[in-house]
Structure 1
Amino acid sequence: MSGSSKYVVIGAGLAGAATAWQLASRGHEVTIVERSHPANDAGSSHGSARIFRYAYPDEFYTGLVQQSRLGWDELARLGGAPLITPTGSVDYGADRNPVQLARILEARGIEHELLGAAEARSRWPQIAFDTPVLWHPGAGVIDAETAVTTMVNLAVAHGAQLLNDWPVASVATTPTGYRLVSATGATLDADNVIVSAGGWLPQLLGDLPLPAGFLAQIPAFEVRQEQAYHFPYRDQPAAPGSTPAWPTFIHKMAGMQVYGLPGGRDADFHGQKVAEYNGGKRLPSAADQDGLMDPANRARVVDYVSRYLPGVVPEPYAETTCLFTNTPTEDFILDRVDGITLLSPCSGHGAKFAPEIGRLAADLATGVGEVPAQFRVAALAAAGRGDA
């Protein structure tokens, strides 16, 4: 089987789907190739529970969230269903610095409160706060799977083609552009290629026709098989399908960072999803994941829940793995060389930026706009050397 397209997007996770939606809605010819199917559970964009928050220690990212929220609102309007469930968020812990986060939210005009630990415990008795707490009510939970399918469906409605079960084995230059070859031998010619392969990017990099100098500057990726656990609420929701009054949270202390959020559909709406940030084992690439839970990680998280989350029973009733693909600085990669756009908005915090990353990637791939300098490969390389 063979074909051709002006733009080919590799990967139909949140970033790839957002890019395809943006390109197709602008009238470009687009083909999406996906190794399995959109939002599959072997990637980083499956399930119903990802945190949407504004609190960042870097004002740049807080501003990017504000811009991305406009895209989420547009996507919800076009798709006919909300994609972010409002919950609010709390940030605390000796190493989270709620005061600094509050200054940034204040500078960006984002509603928030700084609370003492006792006041926060009285408001959310299900959490044993140990430091002052930043609360911002504009946070919530993203339904990642529905977001992906909505963006893919919108792209297809604008004429994009979706090719499922199309794992890319190699990309080679041709006199007019590029030829993609799948693991089954199918081919697809493209004028431009957007690579949004997530945890498969380390494995794919050597099969992309990138200039040696550009390739040498790409930082080493750290792919992790993360582990998340669902703990049952002690007080069940009043109605089936409703969510208790739990905010999302990030608790950062010496030696450990933990995050949590209402598990939503993934947990049948009766448990809190809790995970240790970057607590999973390192992998060469996504192809090496095994889906096995690490007993030591489970024990750490259960111990944490026993100490800090009195509002749940410290025995997980469900558990799952997912992929984080980190850069050394946790910044995203968004760069273009010749006709190849490299897109890796991961590092465990990219989901909330999907609509904006899609817009930026489409601008870059079509040559109509620029991207933030810190997302360029050269800037990441300099930061890794300590030069920036």
Structure 2
Amino acid sequence: MSNNVEFLIIGGGAMGSATALSLAQRGHEVLLLERFEPGHLNGASHGTTRNFNPAYSRPEYLRLLQRANVLWDEISAQAGTQLLQRTGLVNHGIVAEQRQMHEVLAGAGFASELLDINAAEERFAGMKFETEVLHIPAGGQINADLAVSSLQQLASAAGAVIKHGHQASQLEVLPAGGVRVQVEANGASTGISARHAILTAGAWTRQLLGGQMKLPAIHVTEEHPVHFAQIGQPVHWPGFNHSLDPRRDSGSTVYGPIYGMHTPGEGIKVGWHGSGDIIDPGHRPHRASEAQVRALQEYAARWLPGVDPSSYSTVSCTYANTEDEHFILDNFGPLTVGAGFSGHGFKFVPAIGEYLAELALGKRQAEPLFSATRSIAKPIFLERRSSAGLA
């Protein structure tokens, strides 16, 4: 392992792995360091399913979405495996937003359709609906574990060096240019210099930066969706998002928006979005909230006739949430930061890897929406949690 490299990537989850691939395939020298071993369960990139939900209206996200839609298929072809299964995706609960999204998506090249309740329940027999439904056929599920391993294999084949079990303990932007990182591995400490570093350390981002750069606040939460067992005859399960309105008779305690999908071999994954306890990622309790799991069971009993609410297993992952729930994709001289993906970043992974690579190469500027120096006028994350009675 060289102690002086062109590009050093800190954090080998999905975002760091995609950035390594983008840089390596452009012919650059890349060293990727990941503190944990392959397949670990400590961050936000493990598990077998993440929704590919194209329901965005802001142009910044639509551009990323359009690019990711192409890149997932290209990377699947390169890796010789299908990373994105296009099962379709449905959103329901807020009709006005769904109709607006239907118009926006048509202009962005994503077909969608509006289904009335009866048509939606006939097509998707494992679910019940309370409003008109927006169905997006291009949506589906990404295999997160397979995506990370495939991105790393392709990056390695393109010349990137990938080291697991290597923890960056200190990071310093040097006055004369470049970055110096102290790395702990196998009981030894080594200093590595890089012309440019890309920090994609998820929940550990602020810890590594210390006070060197000003970032928007990042709140790390531990989330616990569950897999419910399926019952009855096999049915088609799209991915789904349900915006429950507590003012309506929702049938269960509302901790936030609901998301879900079919995880082959495990059942139907259902979770509250961004409702977990705020934690220190270095001392993660891996403890599910009994009240929130019980509320998911109540939700399933009312809205998911295709599952058994009494038969489930919990899943654990982290979100690194900015207060406006927009990403941080920005440059600080010889340091590029990708962080704050707020539980909705995985669908964009290959496009974000390309974006971060181009930031590091000086081929693009950070957009205001993703700037680390932006002012946050509406703290959506905190407001939503407050309305749900969460600390």
Q: Which amino acid aligns with 1:134?
A: L
Tell whether the 8 Å contact from 2:218 to 2:340 is kept in structure 1 after alignment. Answer: no
Aligned with residue 240 of structure 2, among 236, 239, 249: 249
Tell whether the 8 Å contact from 2:173 to 2:334 is kept in structure 1 after alignment. Answer: no
Q: Which amino acid aligns with 2:117?
A: A
Pick closer, same or farther for the CA change 1:345–1:142 going to 2, 3 Å. Answer: farther
Alpha-carbon shift at residue 41 of structure 1 (Å)? 1.1
Tell whether the 8 Å contact from 1:169 to 1:204 is kept in structure 2 after alignment. Answer: yes
Q: Which residue of 2 aligns with 1:352?
A: 347
What SS is found at the alignment partner of 2:210?
A: helix
Q: Which amino acid aligns with 2:314?
A: E
Tell whether the 8 Å contact from 2:51 to 2:140 is kept in structure 1 after alignment. Answer: yes
Q: Which residue of 2 aligns with 1:235?
A: 232
Q: Which residue of 2 aligns with 1:118?
A: 118
Q: Which residue of 2 aligns with 1:240?
A: none
Alpha-carbon shift at residue 336 of structure 1 (Å)? 0.7
Structure 1 residues 131-140 or 183-192, which shifts more? 183-192
Alpha-carbon shift at residue 29 of structure 1 (Å)? 0.7
Pick closer, same or farther for the CA change 1:178–1:298 going to 2, 3 Å. Answer: same
Q: Deviations over 1:150-183 (max 9, x none)?
A: 1111111122111111111101244562221124
Structure 1 residues 192-201 or 96-105, which shifts more? 96-105
Matched, 1:193 2:193: no
Q: Which amino acid aligns with 2:179?
A: Y
Q: Which amino acid aligns with 1:280?
A: G
What SS is found at the alignment partner of 2:300?
A: helix
Q: Which residue of 2 aligns with 1:342?
A: 337
User: In 2, distance between residues paired with 1:200 and 1:248?
Assistant: 29
Alpha-carbon shift at residue 314 of structure 1 (Å)? 0.5
Q: Which residue of 2 aligns with 1:180?
A: 181
User: In 1, distance between residues paired with 2:94 and 2:180?
Assistant: 52
User: In 1, distance between residues paired with 2:226 and 2:204?
Assistant: 24
Tell whether the 8 Å contact from 2:324 to 2:379 is kept in structure 1 after alignment. Answer: no
Structure 1 residues 185-194 or 294-303, which shifts more? 185-194
Alpha-carbon shift at residue 57 of structure 1 (Å)? 4.1
What SS is found at the alignment partner of 1:188?
A: strand
Pick closer, same or farther for the CA change 1:193–1:384 going to 2, 3 Å. Answer: farther
Alpha-carbon shift at residue 118 of structure 1 (Å)? 2.0
What SS is found at the alignment partner of 1:131?
A: coil
Matched, 1:324 2:319: yes
Match runs of 1:292-331 below 5 Å = 292-331=287-326
Q: Deviations over 1:121-176 (max 9, x none)?
A: 12222211001100111101001111111111111112211111111110124456
Q: Which amino acid aligns with 2:321?
A: N
Q: Deviations over 1:96-134 (max 9, x none)?
A: 832122121122232111111122112222211001100
Tell whether the 8 Å contact from 2:20 to 2:353 is kept in structure 1 after alignment. Answer: yes
Pick closer, same or farther for the CA change 1:109–1:29 going to 2, 3 Å. Answer: closer
Aligned with residue 274 of structure 1, among 267, 270, 273: 270
Tell whether the 8 Å contact from 1:52 to 1:352 is kept in structure 2 after alignment. Answer: yes
Runs of 4+ in 1 over 6 A off after TM superposition: none
Match runs of 1:11-50 below 5 Å = 11-50=11-50
User: In 2, distance between residues paired with 1:71 and 1:2?
Assistant: 30
Q: Which residue of 1 aligns with 2:104?
A: 104
Pick closer, same or farther for the CA change 1:29–1:109 going to 2, 3 Å. Answer: closer
Alpha-carbon shift at residue 384 of structure 1 (Å)? 5.8
Aligned residues: 367
What SS is found at the alignment partner of 1:122?
A: helix
Aligned with residue 363 of structure 2, among 348, 368, 382: 368
TM, length-normalised to structure 1: 0.89
Structure 1: segments with no counterpart, 5+ residues: 238-243
Q: Identity of paired residues, percent?
A: 34
Q: Which residue of 1 aligns with 2:208?
A: 204
Structure 1 residues 44-53 or 61-70, which shifts more? 61-70
Q: Which amino acid aligns with 2:196?
A: N
Structure 1 residues 370-379 or 185-194, which shifts more? 370-379
Alpha-carbon shift at residue 292 of structure 1 (Å)? 1.3
Tell whether the 8 Å contact from 2:330 to 2:371 is kept in structure 1 after alignment. Answer: yes
What SS is found at the alignment partner of 1:5?
A: strand
Matched, 1:289 2:290: no
Pick closer, same or farther for the CA change 1:131–1:33 going to 2, 3 Å. Answer: same
TM, length-normalised to structure 2: 0.89
Tell whether the 8 Å contact from 2:98 to 2:134 is kept in structure 1 after alignment. Answer: yes
Tell whether the 8 Å contact from 1:2 to 1:186 is kept in structure 2 after alignment. Answer: no
Tell whether the 8 Å contact from 1:12 to 1:39 is kept in structure 2 after alignment. Answer: no
Aligned with residue 224 of structure 1, among 218, 221, 224: 221
Tell whether the 8 Å contact from 1:59 to 1:104 is kept in structure 2 after alignment. Answer: no
RMSD: 2.0
User: In 1, distance between residues paired with 2:95 and 2:10?
Assistant: 38
Structure 1 residues 184-193 or 221-230, which shifts more? 184-193
